[in-house]
Structure 1
Amino acid sequence: MNYDIQPADTLHGNVQLPADKSISHRSAMFAALHEGQSIIKNFSEAADPHSTLDCLRKLGVGIQIKDKNIIQVEGVGRDGFLHPSEDLDCGNSGTTMRLLSGIIAGSGVPARLTGDESLSSRTMKRIIDPLTEMGAVIEARDNDFAPLNIRRDIPLNPLYFPLPIASAQLKSCVLLAGLYGEKPTKVIETLPSRDHTERLLNLPIEEENGEKRIFSSREDEVPEQSYRVPNDFSAAAFWLVAGAIHPDAEIVLPKVGLNPTRTGALEILQQMNVDIKINNRHFEGPEPIGDLSVYSSTLQPINITEEVVPNCIDEIPILSVAMLFADGLSKISGAEELRHKETDRLTAIAEILEGVGADFKEYKDGLEIKGDPDFIPDAATFQSYHDHRIAMSAAVLGLMGTSTSTVEGGECTAISYPGFWDDLSMLTN
């Protein structure tokens, strides 16, 4: 479906954001690994976490949707999964496939994991290699791509695993497999990535000389997962940028997750001089949250480097939009991982920038964007490439034009933010 974007005279309102997808995925999986019942509130309504629920049901986990976004999970414990009688369809969700592969490999329950066309084109070799070293047998298309046939015929080998890249999915996959080992698996992290897994599982951690060492084994009890999932910071980022670049904006975003390994984009926007206020800070379970307010701002340019990228990887498309309205030259480097997301996001961002007449350069691992506070985007037709973050970034940019722009395939926003188009309409009316 195509969506037309009208220029916005004002952006004012209180936006009830969707629940955090990353935490929703993990809360359901970890509740299944727990021996006993968990009640998870504010579970994401997006398609991806519900792919996780579907897969868990096929593994014999009892899951009930008690209300619109409250789920009850009857945990079977780490040894209670059943051999599925059909494929575990992960849909479009890389998180489902990568994290569930760790659980399947660890449990030794044979299973075949499939996905849609987009997911089946994304590399799985990063998880295949360490899981194979731990004793799993994994058959994959071209030894790299889904579908994945996973089994384990020998006892689990504990793994000493320095992370080759900063990746929360890879880290989580190995740690989840490690929960089945008699001896600890150790993951070594030198560049920070999202820490929801170690927080929610309360895993042992050592930090020394800039290294974070995370351990998992059968000795680690999986805790009950009863809490309210925070609202998604990645969704908040679109409205933080929209409010910052628009000349007449005031947007309030309640109960947003403020995990410091997720809010790199918040720090970047603050460095760009965006007027953001944070109120009502507190915790939901092990996760910090707060209420955000953003106001029209005069933006300064920013340099996003490889060290920063892991904590703002999902927000780089919308941060690129912010850079267009900064007073000077902004740069992104060390972000080649974006070429391996739902689409090649660096190329997709470049096409958006080209479509609106921006002054920019595209590199193998990033972008260089010459901003102008008075930039007026040309009206354009944006191709979403069925990538939710590209579609939403293009829509925010379209609000700043002087005539109608169009986002093709804009229904893909439902992957992470089912109410995006309604919230956009609310803010502009």
Structure 2
Amino acid sequence: MIKTVSGAGSLKGSLQLPPDKSISQRAAIFSLLYDGKSRIRNYSQAQDPQSTLRCVQQLGAIVKEDSGDLIIEGKGRDGLVEPKQDLDCGNSGTAMRLLSGVLVGAGISAKLIGDASLCGRTMTRIIEPLEAMGAHILARNSAYAPLFINRVEPLRPMEFELPVPSAQLKSCILLAGLFGEEVTRVIETLPSRDHTERLLNLHQQWENGKKIISASIADEIPEQSYTIPGDFSAAAFWLVAGAIQNNAEMLIENVGLNPTRSALLDILGDMGADLIIENERMEGAEPVGDIKVKGSDLKAVEIDPKMIPNCIDELPILAVAMLFAEGTSVISGAEELRHKETDRIMAMSKMLKAVGANFEEQEDGLIIHGDPEFTFQSAEFESFHDHRIAMASAVLSLKGKGESKIKDAESAAVSYPTFWEDLEKMMN
């Protein structure tokens, strides 16, 4: 699908965001492990969480709807069943990596498959530690899905220091560890998303500046009954759109404000964006609030590489903000972007090149020479079937004088099924 987006004079109104994709998927998996019923409100209808939901059903969970809520009856750690068919994770790296940990921990044999994009992403980071825990995993070229998982030895505990700040890798090891008699410990030197620790109420301690998270069979799996907050990564597109657009004034409601997810707020704040957080509250274990954003005069910023794990998904839209900021902005230490749904550094470069931006591509990021007065007539954008590139291109299109086109725009539905409708709403 090719989507046409016209330049916008202003953006005004309020929005309810789609439910958080990362939390939704964890809610489904953790409900499977809970022995009893969980009531999840506002579960995501996006493709990735729906793929995860189908997988947990194949592993024994009973899923029903009740007045718009999702009721998931879990079987507990000792009640999981071997799936009769392949577990299709679709485009979801979260599903494939977290479920791999569950399968190894439970000692269940299964084949994990996914779409072409997911099968192009390396799984070596989870394969090596899971095999050290007693699993035997067959993978295409020893690195890529499909994954054939079979635990051939008794589960061994691990003390595993994360080689990179990855919430998916961390969660994979901890979920396997939850089935072990002895404690598995994951050591985190740089922070990554902490939804798993929060939602499972896992023990955490800090030693010499490092966080150590523990998991074993002794940990009680809590009931997963709460309201999923709005996806902060979805909010990011509107926060930037509002900040770079003259006369914009928007209210983004029910936004998840987990501090391991929301570095973009600090970065935009450093750039001079007019952002106000209101109605702060807790939904279960997660902080939530409403965010007002207005058009602002932005200045350049250099993102500290230590902050990259906390804003990795927001970097494509941050590149758009940087284009309209005064001065030269730098993204570095983001080599991980080359291993996402597509090579996102390459894709961001193509997006900027399409409008004639002044920038340089680096191996681990971008150097963007911004200009608040930067203008372009129109452009044709390649999304590379990547939802975040498609939506970042749409926000950039709003600054064009004419009509721009985004190819494969349907990819936005991976995380934000109503993005195009919400965009039209904000422009009217």
Q: Same fold (TM over 0.5)?
A: yes
Q: Which runs of 5+ in 1 are unaligned?
A: none
Residues 231-265 of structure 1 show CA distances to partners (whole Å, capped at 9, x for unaligned) of: 00000000000000001100101110000000011
Does structure 2 conserve the Cα–Cα contact (< 8 Å) formed by 1:346 and 1:362? yes
- Return the alpha-carbon distance in structure 2 between the equivalents of residues 387 and 66 of structure 1: 33
Structure 2: gaps of 5 or more residues:
none
Listed as ranges, the matches of 1:263-302 within 5 Å are 263-302=262-301
Equivalent position of 1:59 in the other structure: 59
How is 1:102-251 mapped onto 2 (pairs within 5 angstroms)? 102-251=101-250
Code of the residue aligned with 2:8 in structure 1: it is A
SS in 2 for 1:384: coil
Correspondence for 2:96: 97
> How do residues 279-358 of structure 1 correspond to structure 2 at under 5 angstroms?
279-358=278-357
Distance 1:120 1:397 in 2: 30
CA distance in 2, matches of 1:154, 1:209: 34
Alpha-carbon distance between aligned partners in 1 of 2:259 and 2:191, rounded to the nearest angstrom: 10
State, as a whole percentage, how many aligned pairs show the same letter: 57
- 1:190-227 Cα deviation digits (max 9, x unpaired): 10000000000000000122100000000100000000
Q: Are residue 360 (structure 1) and residue 359 (structure 2) matched? A: yes
User: Matched residue of 2:149: which SS?
Assistant: strand
Answer yes or no: is 1:390 the counterpart of 2:374.
no
Deviations 1:357-386 (A, max 9, x none): 100000000000000011113411001111
Provide TM-score, normalisation by structure 2. 0.99
- The C-alpha deviation readout for 1:60-114, integer Å capped at 9, x for no partner, is 210113344x210001001111111110000010000000000001000111000
Contact 2:60 2:74 in 1 (8 A): no
8 Å contact from structure 1 (residues 280, 291) kept in 2? yes
CA contact (8 A) 1:61 1:75 kept: yes
Indicate the residue corresponding to 1:379 in structure 2. Answer: 378
Confirm or deny: 8 A CA contact 1:187 1:213 kept in the other structure. Answer: yes
Map 1:249-260; keep pairs closer than 5 Å: 249-260=248-259
Once residues 185 and 355 of structure 2 are traced to their aligned partners in structure 1, the CA distance between those partners, rounded to angstroms, is 47
In 1: Cα distance, 2:109 partner to 2:209 partner: 38
Mapped partners of 2:375, 2:64: distance in 1: 49
Give TM-score, length-normalised by structure 1: 0.99
Deviations 1:112-131 (A, max 9, x none): 00001110010000000000
Q: Is the contact made by 2:105 and 2:177 (CA closer than 8 Å) also made in structure 1?
A: yes
Q: Which moved more, 1:81-90 or 1:310-319?
A: 81-90
Tell me the distance in 1 between the aligned counterparts of 2:21 and 2:66.
Answer: 19
Root mean square deviation, CA, Å: 0.7
CA distance in structure 2 between the partners assigned to 1:258 and 1:79 by the alignment: 34
Q: Tell me how far apart the structure 2 counterparts of residues 90 and 366 of structure 1 sit (CA, whole Å).
A: 29
The 3-state SS of whatever aligns with 2:235 is helix
